[in-house]
Structure 1
Amino acid sequence: MSTADTRVASTILRTATGREATRWVVAHCREVPGLTLATVLTTVAGAALQVLPVILLGQVVDGVVEGGPRSILVTIGVLLVAAALLGAAAAAASTYLIGRLGADLLARLREGAVRAVLGLPSARIEQVGRGDVLSRVGDDVAVVSKGIRTAIPTVFSAGVLVVIATAGMFGLDWRLGLAGAAALPAYALALRWYLPRSAPLYQRQREAQADRAQALISGLNGIDTVRAYRLEGAFREKVSTESWRVRDLGVEVFRFFGRFVGRENRAEFIGLVVIIVVGYVLLEAGLVTLGEASVAPLLFHRLFTPLGAIMFTFDEAQKSGASITRLVGVLSEAPDERLVGDVAVAPADAGAYPVTVAGLTFSYPESERPVLLDVDLMIPAGGSLALVGATGAGKTTLAALIAGIGTPQAGSVRIGSTDLAGLDEAEARALVSILTQETHVFSGPLADDLRLAAPAATDAELMDALRTVGADAWVTALPDGPATVVGEGGERLDGTKVAQIALARLVLGRAPVVVLDESTAEAGSQGAAELDRAVAAACQGRTTLFVAHRLTQAMTADRIAVLDAGRVVEQGTHQELVALGGRYARLWRAWREGS
């Protein structure tokens, strides 16, 4: 694999091979042996009962030719009715069981994929983009779900019917069976042409859909910026480009499948002609009866319906297969199981830890230029440091590394005596809590939302945390207090209240080190002062790093570090840096004049 291919592969979640996906399906079928066995038996029985009437028709022909008694017709008629009724019952049972087995597999796959995504390190999620992640746990699950309801049962049942009908032709006479098998090379050539080309094409289609989702998400998340800089046209053009790409691939898939259908029709024509000619020759030679010679073409023709069903649903089955490989690929991303479920909480008496950043250098995989270069910082235990600087200076990247998200190429981040490079993200979370401006309130009772940070917290502890950040009054005033349903379908909370909920979770988490990455930037001017007080209360006694959006917030920190192009260019208190007359002083004058 070339360097470029490796770089591209690293920016999307892994896609499993067809063999890996098949192994996963087989392994999970073995976990429900009773359901799997019942599904196979009813499908085989249903297929056999569909073929039986055709074979009985041959008995009718031979009975008439040989002048047999009329009672044979009555007997065969009864058998035909019985076969039809039992076949219908078996087919219904088969469809139901296939649906149940498929739903069970889908539930396991969906649960595993969602759990794997939740367990991925934050740096990996940022690297691959939300579009790829959401398309797998959203679009791919929907595609597989549709396939399980329609295409997969059809393909499986039709495949079994093809096998039974072929066996029936060989049962009549091995030469008639071989005549019918003459179509197999043409079928094989058609499939050999189709399969190697179809899987990559469907995978490209799914990746294009993921890129379209990413374009939509990135634009909608930054809609205020898009509107402020009048970038609506550029945003629409990007989304349109990705949408046209999806459409073009859809047309290509349709045309490609049409060519495959044409090749399959040629195979059917070849098989039917050969079996009629061979049947006639064998009948003339007295090697088969008229009934057998008549039934063989009918059995072969009986294959047309299941083969046609396979062809016309193979498109959907291939899409489902491509989606399954993408979902199974997520399972192989090796998530950290501790990132899913209860959050590790630092001991209540852990106290504050100092933070030491030494020689820190970091570059993103796609960039040749370091985002951070040889950064040295020190935050005393229980102290606070504010990071300021222009957009792109590296503030958010430095905050993420101090929070244990990502690994630097050089240098270290230590919490107390612990180097974060020796911890995984789950262990880092017990030491450092990070709060960004992308706060979220989940739909459900407010108390459950708070307990995300401390599942075992009592009602009294929840109220204490709310009281600490100044949210107890409005929470108590809610219709059901902390039990009130918030988020979608419930009580709507404004930006200030959402930020207070996030800060209350920070209090409940009890991590000794706190990183605040512009966590109150979205609050209005009226709520800003209130949130500043809430932040100070939530961080009391903890070592705190601020990424300051407002310089008034930076003023409250013990010390300030100014970043420029990934380097720390100034450090000191607010008064010291203003007196210095350097970069911070210019930022402060601009801020004060703007205010």
Structure 2
Amino acid sequence: MAGKRAEEETQVSATGARAALRTATGREAVRWVAAHCRTVPWLTGATVLATVAGAALEVLPVLLLGRVVDGVVAGESQSILVTVGALMVGAALLGVPAAAASTYLIGRLGTDLLARLREGAVRAVLAMPSARIEQVGRGDVLSRVGDDVAVLSKGIRTAVPTILSAGVLVAIATAGMFGLDWRLGLAGAGALPAYALALRWYLPRSAPLYRRQRVAQADRAQALISGLNGIDTVRAYRLESAFRERVTGESWRVRDLGIEVFRLFGRFVGRENRAEFVGLVLIIVVGYALLEADAATLGEVSAAPLLFHRLFNPLGSIMFTFDEAQKSGASLTRLVGALGEAAEGRLVGSTTASVDGRPVGGAVAAPVGGAVAGGVTPYPVTIEGLTFTYPGAEEPALRDVDLAIPAGGSLALVGATGAGKTTLAALVAGIGTPDAGSVRIGSTDLAELDEAGARALVSILTQETHVFSGPLSGDLRLAAPDATDAELMDALRTVGADRWVAALPGGLDTTVGEGGERLDVTKVAQIALARLVLGRSPVVVLDESTAEAGSQGAAELERAVRATYRGRTTLLVAHRLTQAMAADRIAVLDAGRVVELGTHEELVALGGRYARFWRAWREGG
């Protein structure tokens, strides 16, 4: 039998591009930022005050310079000129710490915003339904909580302080020109249409391009992850070239989009330079006309172009950091979109599952008390007309599947790669929604429950088990937070792990995982099975849970698996036919349909597909 990862790769190739997580609109992102700023009014107020003060102190020396020119022309006393000069020096000296304070406070506010956004995005991803995570792929999810956070973090450190400070400076300098003479102000404002046209040309083209760039990076991450996670299957089927070409293709797409972004930005810079030229020419011409008509002083006419020229640096800063700001904006909309996705993904339904009118949520926290059968009430599983098609796929992965597992019984799924075993197991576990048909636990349709309710009824264990870094007892209590040490040891005893756990330096308190005790594949699988015991759901789905172990470890784990599901209603995706033999009945899948159903003896005697599998298994063994 081929492994779960091979079937997943078949599904990905059949579906093509995965549906991405939601991306918020720019308006939604701005509303989120504004709402965050309102939660820290003192920090927001201090940031605004420091930024405005710093910008005003930068503009003041230019205005005072005009006053000096007028004073010299009018022959005023030297003391007045000295006073104005002292004010200019004072404004310049105070402007430095004000600008520094502004940069610090903007960074502080942005860091606080980023921390909340990152925490919220991670929490939202962890709260998403498993079916949604499977649909979008881990590449998109990881790129949001990884790459997008990194891009936004860089933008908050560099682009955001620059743009905010420069924007305030532009506004104050423009107000200063109107303060000198309204006609000089209007002349400077004559450049605004050119700036507006440049932005109007750039923004509609740049924002979608940056979003496409981020999506392309997510697709590249997904291609890498899928290849690395399924590396054994890739090597077994000699698919290295195909996966290398896929990653190369996605990388070239990211590169091409990066070049397109750079070219677009270069054209934008040219339009901004033309706007600056238009504004400066208008101010000089209008100033000369006013001076000739004796409608303005020489100081005013001299200060106006200096003020407008003073705008070149902040406008240039905005322009040259706008590229980074656009990237940050694109990442912000993706992260805020992930927050909104979690809210939209919440299903209406009771979080306390019930079967035949009886709640089963309480069974999750019930004491283990020895054998599984002694504390869990099993319920039958009924699958009727189940049909499921992956997004973008032309053919359904499952077609009109009808199966039934009696309460406390077991059913093994057998079939070639891509037959639909993993898809059927996921739907029975409540991961995904079928196109047609239903999965019922007792009389309860899983589609009527939210994910918490489904988890109370059905537990799923795949070959991709994981041990979290920390005390072993904490790892086990993920499934039963209130379990005592005695209950943890009972669960470990059920799966045959109590002896090696007792031999650990600290027993249940031993640190395992990264930075702690290293556990082999068999021990990791036993811990996962012990969590399944502690979870105490009435239905369990085992998707090739012993596939990664060696032959000796697999035999040991198969005994542990049988002890784990004894007394529960069980669906097994059989990687080894010895697992299928142990089940009450076996269903053979082919192209999403059940083609054979019966006990091991019945199917061998039938001489069909299962019998051929069995002969191949015995000869290979």
Scaled to the shorter chain, the TM-score interval is over 0.9
Query: How far apart are the structure 2 equivalents of 1:564 and 1:297?
Result: 79
Q: Of residues 506, 509, 530 in structure 1, which corresponds to 2:535? A: 509
Give the match for residue 268 of structure 1. Answer: 276
Query: How far apart are the structure 1 equivalents of 2:393 and 2:528?
Result: 33
Q: Of residues 137, 141, 160 in structure 1, which corresponds to 2:168? A: 160
Checking the alignment, whether the CA contact within 8 Å between 1:338 and 1:426 is kept in structure 2 is no
Query: How far apart are the structure 2 equivalents of 1:567 and 1:56?
Result: 85
Task: Describe how 1:94-113 pairs up with structure 2 within 5 A.
Answer: 94-113=102-121
The CA deviation string for residues 67-88 of structure 1, in whole angstroms up to 9 with x for no partner, is 1121123212322232123222
Checking the alignment, whether the CA contact within 8 Å between 2:162 and 2:321 is kept in structure 1 is yes
How far 1:567 sits from its partner (Å)? 1.9
Q: Which stretch has the larger CA shift, 20-29 or 140-149?
A: 20-29
Give the match for residue 381 of structure 1. Answer: 407
Query: How far apart are the structure 2 equivalents of 1:117 and 1:269?
Result: 49
> What is the one-letter code of the residue matched to 1:346?
A
Helix, strand or coil at the partner of 1:519: coil
Give the match for residue 3 of structure 1. Answer: none
Question: Structure 1 residues 161 and 510, CA, compared in 2 at 3 Å: closer, same or farther?
Answer: same
Query: How far apart are the structure 2 equivalents of 1:589 and 1:507?
Result: 34
Query: How far apart are the structure 1 equivalents of 2:93 and 2:596?
Result: 86
Give the match for residue 3 of structure 2. Answer: none
Helix, strand or coil at the partner of 2:191: helix
Question: Structure 1 residues 472 and 350, CA, compared in 2 at 3 Å: closer, same or farther?
Answer: closer
Give the match for residue 441 of structure 1. Answer: 467
Give the match for residue 565 of structure 2. Answer: 539
Give the match for residue 345 of structure 2. Answer: 335
Question: Structure 1 residues 338 and 96, CA, compared in 2 at 3 Å: closer, same or farther?
Answer: farther
Checking the alignment, whether the CA contact within 8 Å between 2:220 and 2:247 is kept in structure 1 is yes
Give the match for residue 253 of structure 1. Answer: 261
> What is the one-letter code of the residue matched to 2:84?
I
How far 1:218 sits from its partner (Å)? 0.8
How far 1:8 sits from its partner (Å)? 9.3
How far 1:390 sits from its partner (Å)? 1.5
Give the match for residue 487 of structure 1. Answer: 513
Q: Of residues 134, 147, 152 in structure 2, which corresponds to 1:126? A: 134
Q: Which stretch has the larger CA shift, 471-480 or 268-277?
A: 471-480
Q: Which stretch has the larger CA shift, 223-232 or 342-351?
A: 342-351
Q: Of residues 363, 369, 388 in structure 2, which corresponds to 1:346? A: 363
The CA deviation string for residues 382-437 of structure 1, in whole angstroms up to 9 with x for no partner, is 11111111222111111111111112222221111211121122210000000011
Query: How far apart are the structure 2 equivalents of 1:99 and 1:464?
Result: 53
> What is the one-letter code of the residue matched to 1:449?
D
How far 1:233 sits from its partner (Å)? 2.2
Question: Structure 1 residues 351 and 235, CA, compared in 2 at 3 Å: closer, same or farther?
Answer: same
Query: How far apart are the structure 1 equivalents of 2:419 and 2:32?
Result: 46
Checking the alignment, whether the CA contact within 8 Å between 2:384 and 2:403 is kept in structure 1 is yes
Q: How many residues align?
A: 588
Query: How far apart are the structure 1 equivalents of 2:586 and 2:239?
Result: 34
How far 1:565 sits from its partner (Å)? 2.0
Q: Of residues 383, 395, 401 in structure 2, which corresponds to 1:369? A: 395
Checking the alignment, whether the CA contact within 8 Å between 2:413 and 2:580 is kept in structure 1 is yes
Checking the alignment, whether the CA contact within 8 Å between 1:431 and 1:512 is kept in structure 2 is yes
Task: Describe how 1:232-243 pairs up with structure 2 within 5 A.
Answer: 232-243=240-251
Helix, strand or coil at the partner of 2:454: helix
How far 1:350 sits from its partner (Å)? 4.9
Give the match for residue 199 of structure 2. Answer: 191
Asked if 1:466 corresponds to 2:476, the answer is no
Asked if 1:520 corresponds to 2:537, the answer is no
Query: How far apart are the structure 2 equivalents of 1:436 and 1:17?
Result: 37
Helix, strand or coil at the partner of 1:577: helix
Give the match for residue 208 of structure 1. Answer: 216
Query: How far apart are the structure 2 equivalents of 1:548 and 1:239?
Result: 31
Q: Which stretch has the larger CA shift, 354-363 or 267-276?
A: 354-363
Asked if 1:395 corresponds to 2:421, the answer is yes
> What is the one-letter code of the residue matched to 2:545?
S
Give the match for residue 416 of structure 1. Answer: 442
Helix, strand or coil at the partner of 2:418: coil
Helix, strand or coil at the partner of 1:332: helix
Question: Structure 1 residues 429 and 220, CA, compared in 2 at 3 Å: closer, same or farther?
Answer: same
Question: Structure 1 residues 534 and 175, CA, compared in 2 at 3 Å: closer, same or farther?
Answer: same
Give the match for residue 313 of structure 2. Answer: 305
Query: How far apart are the structure 1 equivalents of 2:487 and 2:398?
Result: 40
Question: Structure 1 residues 110 and 557, CA, compared in 2 at 3 Å: closer, same or farther?
Answer: same
Checking the alignment, whether the CA contact within 8 Å between 1:345 and 1:510 is kept in structure 2 is no
The CA deviation string for residues 127-158 of structure 1, in whole angstroms up to 9 with x for no partner, is 11111111111111110111011101110110
Checking the alignment, whether the CA contact within 8 Å between 1:119 and 1:337 is kept in structure 2 is no
Give the match for residue 4 of structure 1. Answer: none
Checking the alignment, whether the CA contact within 8 Å between 1:381 and 1:543 is kept in structure 2 is yes
Question: Structure 1 residues 134 and 338, CA, compared in 2 at 3 Å: closer, same or farther?
Answer: farther
Query: How far apart are the structure 2 equivalents of 1:176 and 1:76?
Result: 23
Give the match for residue 30 of structure 1. Answer: 38
Q: Point out where structure 1 has 5 or more consecutive residues left out of the alignment.
A: 1-6
Question: Structure 1 residues 522 and 16, CA, compared in 2 at 3 Å: closer, same or farther?
Answer: same
Give the match for residue 9 of structure 2. Answer: none
Query: How far apart are the structure 1 equivalents of 2:514 and 2:557?
Result: 24
Q: Which stretch has the larger CA shift, 359-368 or 384-393?
A: 359-368
Question: Structure 1 residues 79 and 338, CA, compared in 2 at 3 Å: closer, same or farther?
Answer: farther
The CA deviation string for residues 223-261 of structure 1, in whole angstroms up to 9 with x for no partner, is 112222332222222211111111111111111111111
How far 1:481 sits from its partner (Å)? 2.6
Query: How far apart are the structure 2 equivalents of 1:31 and 1:201?
Result: 33
How far 1:111 sits from its partner (Å)? 1.7
Q: Of residues 524, 530, 538 in structure 2, which corresponds to 1:498? A: 524
Query: How far apart are the structure 2 equivalents of 1:9 and 1:40?
Result: 44
How far 1:91 sits from its partner (Å)? 1.4
Query: How far apart are the structure 2 equivalents of 1:336 and 1:119?
Result: 9
How far 1:367 sits from its partner (Å)? 2.3
Query: How far apart are the structure 1 equivalents of 2:70 and 2:596?
Result: 102
Q: CA RMSD in A?
A: 2.0
> What is the one-letter code of the residue matched to 1:397?
T
Query: How far apart are the structure 2 equivalents of 1:176 and 1:158?
Result: 21
How far 1:445 sits from its partner (Å)? 2.5
The CA deviation string for residues 260-281 of structure 1, in whole angstroms up to 9 with x for no partner, is 1111011111111111121121
